[in-house]
């Protein structure tokens, strides 16, 4: 089994909630994760001070292989020259690479795409044809049986609620390609509310034997939650088993000053890279 801890939209700066951040740092070691995924928007306004605080927080999470990607808030909004000339300079200096990345673990290949598009859009994001090819290339080398995981800050589909969120540019085309590549799961942020679903609920004009499991995290540590997670905070724990996946959505409970499981979702892994193509039974929930 391989376990990924996904935190998102930390938003260091005025929206950051230290009490919630401390609760996340308290629970994180007990989750026994194998890797930490940070799916963008580590700051509110991309200032060096906010990045320093975000880095210090991330460094207090368990010391594990880590994959972080920037979000649109990690690009300066008002420092126009910087936005044009080196939009992710501060992110790179304090957090890590801003390029598309691959993390290979025993049991999974994780591709993280930088979907910020500071020269095209302020908040919306974009996935390009080049990034689709980058993903195809990275997954072509995935060992048999390895889960194929994709991380992007922006959502490929909006949450299934009444709030309207525009999908990122190029998202539909990319989703179709990712289904064909056998991507098992996409981890995203940006929406500031969690939902766990299946791409087939939104896209059904490609192969329909299986979709991609969509795992959106709310804001893990800021007051920017929306919809069902307005003034709430969440993160996800993704367990990758040989033949099934489990996603546990954790929510912060004010009265306990602690995160606790809100829901748990199990899906059979039917992806073509499994040795046995038959649908595997999902074990009963504990
Ligand atoms: Fe955000």
Dig out the tokens for 284 from the structure. Answer: 């009963």
pLDDT of residue 272: 46
Domains of the chain as residue ranges with CATH: 2-268 (3.60.21.10)
Gyration radius of the chain over CA positions:
18
- Please state, in angstroms and rounded to a whole number, the distance separating the CA atoms of residues 213 and 186: 6
Distance in Å, CA 224 to ligand 1 centroid: 7
Distance in Å, CA 218 to ligand 1 centroid: 9
| Alpha-carbon distances of 114 from 58, 68, 195, 248, rounded to whole Å | 19, 9, 21, 25
Beta strands 147-152 and 108-113: pairing type? parallel
Q: 85: helix, coil or strand? A: helix
pLDDT tens series, the chain, 286 aa: 999 999 999 999 999 999 999 999 999 999 999 999 999 999 999 999 999 999 999 999 999 999 999 999 999 988 888 888 899 999 999 999 999 999 999 999 999 999 999 888 888 999 999 999 999 999 998 998 899 999 999 999 889 898 888 899 999 999 999 998 989 999 999 999 999 999 999 887 777 777 899 999 999 999 999 999 999 999 999 999 988 999 999 999 999 999 999 999 999 886 544 555 444 555 666 6
pLDDT of residue 286: 60
pLDDT of residue 257: 98
pLDDT of residue 285: 63
Distance in Å, CA 9 to ligand 1 centroid: 5
Distance in Å, CA 276 to ligand 1 centroid: 39
């Amino acid at each position: 089994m391989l376990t990924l801890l996904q935190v998102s939209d930390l938003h260091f700066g005025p929206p950051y909630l230290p009490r919630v951040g401390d609760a996340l740092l308290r629970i994180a070691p007990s989750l026994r994760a194998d890797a930490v995924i940070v799916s963008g928007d580590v700051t509110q306004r991309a200032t060096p001070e906010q990045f320093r605080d975000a880095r210090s927080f991330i460094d207090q999470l368990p010391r594990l292989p880590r994959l972080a990607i920037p979000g649109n808030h990690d690009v300066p909004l008002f420092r126009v020259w910087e936005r044009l000339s080196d939009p992710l300079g501060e992110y790179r200096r304090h957090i890590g690479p801003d390029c598309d990345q691959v993390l290979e673990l025993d049991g999974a290949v994780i591709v993280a795409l930088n979907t910020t598009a500071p020269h095209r859009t302020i908040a919306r994001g974009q996935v390009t044809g080049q990034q689709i090819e980058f993903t195809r290339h990275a997954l072509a080398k995935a060992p048999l049986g390895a889960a194929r995981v994709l991380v992007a800050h922006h959502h490929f589909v909006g949450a299934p609620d009444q709030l309207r969120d525009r999908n990122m540019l190029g998202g539909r085309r990319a989703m179709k390609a990712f289904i064909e590549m056998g991507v098992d799961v996409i981890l995203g942020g940006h929406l500031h509310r969690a939902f766990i679903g299946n791409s087939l609920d939104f896209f059904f004009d490609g192969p329909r034997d299986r979709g991609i499991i969509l795992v959106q995290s709310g804001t893990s540590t800021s007051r920017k939650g929306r919809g069902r997670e307005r003034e709430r905070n969440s993160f996800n724990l993704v367990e990758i088993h040989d033949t099934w996946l489990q996603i546990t959505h954790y929510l912060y409970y004010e009265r306990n000053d602690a995160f606790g499981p809100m829901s748990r979702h199990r899906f059979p892994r039917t992806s073509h890279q499994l040795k046995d193509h038959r649908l595997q039974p999902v074990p009963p929930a504990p």
